[in-house]
């Protein structure tokens, strides 16, 4: 049981998320370090990955692609 001030929080603003597919955009300068993958990723993607981690939803690094051109 969490006390009110101990409850973890996560703000997710991501309107392009459906089941296990998501897409979006962010400025190239808007990145954040994601420790499990040991690399910088767009902040909206890192937020979603943290949410999935907290819910125990598995995800694979190779599927988290971003950039100007995608394979």
Q: For 6-54, give the DSSP string.
A: G--------SSEETTEE-----TT-EEEEGGGTEEEEHHHHHHHHHHHH
pTM over 0.85: no
pLDDT at residue number 68: 72
- Tens of pLDDT, residue by residue over 29-48, are 889 999 999 999 988 888 88
From residue 51, alpha-carbon distances to 54, 55, 68, 70, 71 in Å are 5, 6, 25, 24, 25
Spatial separation of the C-alpha atoms in residues 36 and 59, rounded to whole Å: 11
- Tens of pLDDT, residue by residue over 17-32, are 666 666 777 888 889 9
**Could you state, in order of their start, the residue ranges of all structural domains in the chain?**
29-61
Matching residue, tokens 């998320």: 17
Would the pLDDT of 4 be above 60? no
């Amino acid at each position: 049981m969490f006390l009110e001030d101990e409850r973890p929080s996560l703000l997710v603003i991501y309107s392009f998320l459906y089941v296990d597919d998501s897409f979006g955009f962010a400025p190239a300068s808007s990145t954040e370090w994601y420790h499990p993958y040991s690399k910088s990723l767009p902040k909206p993607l890192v937020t979603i990955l943290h949410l999935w981690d907290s819910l125990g939803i598995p995800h694979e690094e190779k599927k988290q692609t971003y950039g100007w051109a995608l394979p």
